[in-house]
Chain A
Amino acid sequence: MELSRRETLALGLGAAFLTIMPLRANAAAEDAIAAFTGGADVADGGVTLTAPEIAENGNTVPIEVSAPGAASILIVAAGNPEPGVATFNFGPLAAAQAASTRIRLAGTQDVIAVAKMADGSFAKASATVKVTIGGCGG
């Protein structure tokens, strides 16, 4: 089989497109994080995100987040139809920059916590949660 120059190019483009597709699924989550950080660099570490490895019921997944010295913490679920979950803003009387809550997860995915530190820097942590039953109805 002979491939013309045009066909070869088309194949190459198709392959490139397929490689980019999985990344796009996370674009909404990245947009949500970018909106929070304003495009600043996000370092790893300094944030502790505790989530179960396996959640039987995606409707109520207990999570706990802690970031000493943080002014606010954003929680993002990358695989949900809407990636935003919650933003915790800590006031002067918060004894610890930590909170726990229960969230909905549509399926197995990464949960990401991004903390804005008091000095304006950003840090993040993520945890993968396997979900047996999704929490978005059907």
Chain B
Amino acid sequence: MASGVKPRVKVPKTAAAGEAITIKTLISHKMESGQRKDKEGNVIPRSIINRFTCEFNGEMVIDVTMEPAISTNPYFQFEATVPEAGEFVFTWYDDDGSVYDEKKTIEIA
């Protein structure tokens, strides 16, 4: 597991039923592309997060396949519909098999 991986997610605490909300996510990760070389000229092996998903009450909002061209500390912003009160589950999948997740609950105002 890459060290210092910390997911951060911004979701409003409340929403009206059926409202579209904007979600911002950021996760600290070095996203080593596999293209860089160290001082001795050896290629630094690739180590990235290759997939990100967001679900709400088990239903998919967005599923992103990520390649090495995604920047360090991957950031995503997207919109989701909130049909009822519930929980957003955000999941990041690392190349090394680690899975990082974050959950946010939302109330209907």
Contact flags (1/0) for A50-69 with B, using CB distance below 8 Å? 00000000011100000000
Would you call A16 an interface residue if the criterion is a C-beta within 8 Å of the partner chain's C-beta atoms?
Answer: no
Question: Hey, which chain A residues are within 8 Å of B65, CB to CB?
Answer: 86-87, 89
Q: When chains A and B are docked, how far (Å) is the Cα of A80 from the Cα of B104?
A: 36
Q: Closest CB of chain A to B88's CB: distance in Å?
A: 10
Chain B contact residues: helix, strand, loop or mixed: strand
Decide if A94 touches B75 in the complex (CB within 8 Å): no
Give the number of chain A interface residues (Cβ < 8 Å): 32
Give the number of chain B interface residues (Cβ < 8 Å): 31
Considering only residues 78-137 of chain A, those with a C-beta below 8 Å from chain B are 80-82, 84-96, 98-105, 135-137
Q: Closest CB of chain A to B62's CB: distance in Å?
A: 6
Closest to A91 in B: B60
Partner of A96 from the list B55, B74, B79 (CB cut-off 8 Å) is B79
Decide if B35 touches A77 in the complex (CB within 8 Å): no
Decide if A88 touches B64 in the complex (CB within 8 Å): yes
